[in-house]
Structure 1
Amino acid sequence: MRRVALATGLAALLALTGCSDDTDTLRPTQTPADGSTAAATSTGERVQVVTSIDVYADLARTIGGDAVEVRSLLASDSGADPHSYEATARDQLAVRNADLVIANGGHYDEFLTRALSAAGGERAVITVVPGEDEGHEDEGHEDEGHEDEGHEDEGHDEAHGHGRDGNEHVWYDLQLMGTLAGRIAEELAQLHPADREGFAARATEFENGIAELRQRQETMFSAHDGTPVAVTEPLPLFLLTDCGLVDKTPPAFSQAIEEGTDVPVRVLQDTLNLFSERAVELLVYNEQTTGPQTERIRKAAEDAGIPVVGMSETLPTGQDFLSWMRANLDAIEQALA
């Protein structure tokens, strides 16, 4: 298995390792004599891409175009929790037949990690957030110009495999998604060389879209730097932080909601006080993780006249990644106006 890991916010190729499994009889591995994967698929075949979540499936389709066939193991309407999901036999077959697998990492989609371990054979694997045991060999850092001095300034936390501040919802990090687009294009170019220029052009177009969104974030940062906000869980924090907004939610509250445990009474009251005391100017609410305690928080915000913006963990039906993030920024701007 050849693994490609992205450090949060940086184009870092952390590891390339090879392994083979003679028991992989469903799809024979096609590896050139030089050990590369450039000819893993013939020019007449579509590259088989498997992703853990629909967000990465959208990026793969956007960049791959007609040259790829993409399957997300967790569809947007599945309602399944990635933390507890178990890969089905059909999922396992898809992974075994994949030419490229895109995983979130950071312990978010361990069902895919287990499926990869069981699959055998060879395939390209992009892991967006490397875990503790994923891709920390020194040689991988040197080969790709991985510089240590740039990490402290950016607040990255590779060693713990959770990205910035332990947040595994890295698709809300727009800069990282631009970096990921480039990595997908590079991997697809190796697997399907005939469409190399198309992959590069579509990745550039996507990156230009990201640049426009990042420019909006910079404008919002100038206008709202230091504005206090609250969240029901860490889902949108990359997006909010890069807009200059500061999360004032008690960490024990958002952690409990994310882990599906009860919020301690004192912590719940401290969170409710943020609204009754008007200590925050916005609540960002995860629409896909709701319950009695998050509903109390939402009602407290509404009763205090504090705007509530809903965001989702999966790509909304009928949207692509760029239109989704554009809508999220629109909602934040309107709420703070």
Structure 2
Amino acid sequence: MHNRLFALPLVAGAAALALTGCATSSASGDASSDGKIAVVASTNVYGSLVETIGGEHVDVTSILNDPSQDPHSFESSARTQLAVSQADLLIENGGGYDDFMTTLADASDTKADTINVVKLSGLDKGGDTEFNEHVFYSYPTMVKLVDDVTKRLSALDEGDEATFEKNADALTTKLEDLESQTADLKKTYDGEKVSYTEPVPGYLFDAIGLDNVTPEAFAEAIEEGDDVPPAALNKTLQLFSAKTVRLLAYNDQTSSPETEQVQKAAEDNGIPVVGVTETLPKGEDYVSWQQANIDAVQAALQK
């Protein structure tokens, strides 16, 4: 698995502010006074799902929530530390993706339960195969997460259990519809070759039956922030000059000279480029974001 390059300078001042409550309060900072369940999620992907389930009964802090932010880098603040220290529930991706959550939790000495979505997914089988930690593109995993979040919110606020379950049922229906759409697309596009700059949409591609043929050395170097081996770059560029692939999925939140070169090669050869992200675009919730991803992939495959 890949270890994401998150920087976490927990300076003494930030830690002290978190412990004394002198930092600017986050949404979850008022949880004890307003009676809402305080939830801290590593990204707004998970925060969106909690908000949909919990509604007005939760205060959610999503640590990474800027669509223009490179999710491979993160700097803690006193506000973030305070939110974690006062949380009733923490949600992390896991799989080496957001190790800063463990660091924050340890520094705050929080007693809140933590949902590790990679562990919940059951997708990491171990072994020598590289694990794709972007499990937020796996709809069956999100169904599991919705169920787990609902149970935990209900345990924290038994009086609103019926509301949580009703909201969760509606959300699960929408997630299952996304699954159904990808299953339908698989009937037409199973086995079609595609490429990506990073394995962000890997589980979506798997659900549609698409065959990613990007050289592993290229995608791994990009994800780790390393220089791409020249041979891997050349092989990747040949996918587009030879028109081997139907589309390129490009991570809009990270770029490098190599990824820009690959994007240009795709465009020059008439290969559709589909932008993907690791956090929610502004104004989107989880379902609308993933619906847009499905629609974009389908439109590219139809060209």
Shift of residue 299 of structure 1?
Answer: 1.2
Structure 1 residue 58 corresponds to structure 2 residue 48: yes
State the TM-score, normalized to the length of structure 2. Answer: 0.85
- AA of the residue aligned to 1:171: F
Shift of residue 81 of structure 1?
Answer: 3.3
Equivalent position of 1:181 in the other structure:
146
Equivalent position of 1:288 in the other structure:
253
CA contact (8 A) 2:67 2:253 kept: no
How many residue pairs end up in the alignment? 276
Shift of residue 307 of structure 1?
Answer: 1.2
- Separation in 2, partners of 1:120, 1:325: 35
Structure 1 residues 81, 330: closer, same or farther in 2, change over 3 A? closer
Structure 1 residue 114 corresponds to structure 2 residue 81: no
State the TM-score, normalized to the length of structure 1. Answer: 0.77
* Structure 1 runs of 4+ with >6 Å offset: 24-27, 41-44
Q: Which runs of 5+ in 1 are unaligned?
A: 1-23, 28-40, 136-145
Structure 1 residue 98 corresponds to structure 2 residue 87: yes
Equivalent position of 1:157 in the other structure:
124
Shift of residue 159 of structure 1?
Answer: 4.1
- Identical columns (%): 42
CA contact (8 A) 2:195 2:213 kept: yes
- AA of the residue aligned to 2:243: R
Equivalent position of 2:61 in the other structure:
71
Equivalent position of 2:266 in the other structure:
301
Structure 1 residue 212 corresponds to structure 2 residue 201: no
CA contact (8 A) 1:43 1:192 kept: no
- Separation in 1, partners of 2:218, 2:82: 39
User: CA deviation digits over 1:51-92, x for unaligned, max 9?
Assistant: 11110110110100000000111222461434x424222211
Structure 1 residues 261, 66: closer, same or farther in 2, change over 3 A? same
Pick from 189, 201, 216 the counterpart of residue 236 of structure 1: 201
- AA of the residue aligned to 1:282: L
- Separation in 1, partners of 2:70, 2:248: 25
Q: Which runs of 5+ in 2 are unaligned?
A: 1-17, 22-30
- Separation in 2, partners of 1:170, 1:225: 21
Pick from 318, 322, 327 the counterpart of residue 287 of structure 2: 322
User: CA deviation digits over 1:277-331, x for unaligned, max 9?
Assistant: 1111111111111121111111111111111111111100011110111111111
Equivalent position of 1:30 in the other structure:
none
CA contact (8 A) 2:64 2:279 kept: no
SS in 2 for 1:98: coil
Equivalent position of 1:128 in the other structure:
117
CA contact (8 A) 1:228 1:248 kept: yes
Equivalent position of 1:226 in the other structure:
191
Structure 1 residue 49 corresponds to structure 2 residue 39: yes
